[in-house]
Structure 1
Amino acid sequence: MSSLSVLEAKLETESRAFQQLQKELSTAIEARQRLDSQQQENEVVSKEFEHLEDDASIFKLIGPVLVKQEKGEAVGNVKNRLELINKEIERIEKQLQDLTEKSEKKKGELAQLQMQFQQATGKA
């Protein structure tokens, strides 16, 4: 196997690895966007609860049924949901940072391999 074909195989492998990283990055970005949306929705609900009387009727949609819920329980559920969403956002942010760093590193490695390949094919 010539050094050119070894270089070409390595370039192809690294290119696939870069594409996989980009796919994972895209998936993480989509997850982050969904979490942002959920966070905003829950924050709106939380603010609405502040304007309600303590004896106000609150209903929760469970499947096709509306179930009455106590205000304290509903407020607690939304608060817990916001805490979980915030923790998940932190986790996704770390994942995004890690994937971005790996992607940038892989991009640099690919550029270097492409230069080596072009130099090798120019000599041949």
Structure 2
Amino acid sequence: MAAAKFEAEMQAFQALQREFTKVVQSRTQLESQLKENEMVSKEFDLLKDDATVYKLIGPVLVKQDRAEATTNVKKRIEFITSEIKRLEKQINEMEEKQEKKRSEMMQMQQALQAQRQQA
């Protein structure tokens, strides 16, 4: 009975680890997008006032208003930054859950070993 409960806890722990990995991967992807958008923003700062800005839509370059393009990039940076903060909070919560689950499993494992030694 105790061994089955330990096995169930182990599976729950592994599921937590898989979910944690997915969240970390999402955060990494967002970090990459943030860096890319920050580079675009810096490039906009280097442009002359009369420079023409184009946006790639599918296989076509479409002329875009510079102010609109700059605003869009800044909004994207704000959104990505807020998503990264949300994911970091989620990562911290998941780390705490994993640590708690790991501690519980160690206690269960010690209890199981004690039972086996007594038997």
Q: TM-score range by the shorter chain?
A: over 0.9
Asked if 2 retains the 8 angstrom alpha-carbon contact of 1:55 and 1:71, the reply is no
What secondary structure sits across from 1:16 in the alignment? helix
Aligned Cα RMSD in Å? 0.8
Structure 1 match to 2:36: 41
Aligned partner letter, 1:36:
E
What secondary structure sits across from 2:50 in the alignment? coil
Q: Pairwise mapping of residues 76-87 of structure 1 onto structure 2 (< 5 A)?
A: 76-87=71-82
Q: Which runs of 4+ in 1 moved over 3 A?
A: none
What secondary structure sits across from 2:33 in the alignment? helix
What secondary structure sits across from 1:66 in the alignment? strand
Structure 1 match to 2:97: 102
Q: Percent identity?
A: 50
2:56 corresponds, among 51, 57, 61, to 61
What secondary structure sits across from 1:55 in the alignment? coil
Q: CA deviation at 1:59?
A: 1.0
Q: CA deviation at 1:108?
A: 0.3
TM-score by length of 1: 0.93
Name stretches of at least 5 consecutive residues in structure 1 with no aligned partner: 1-5
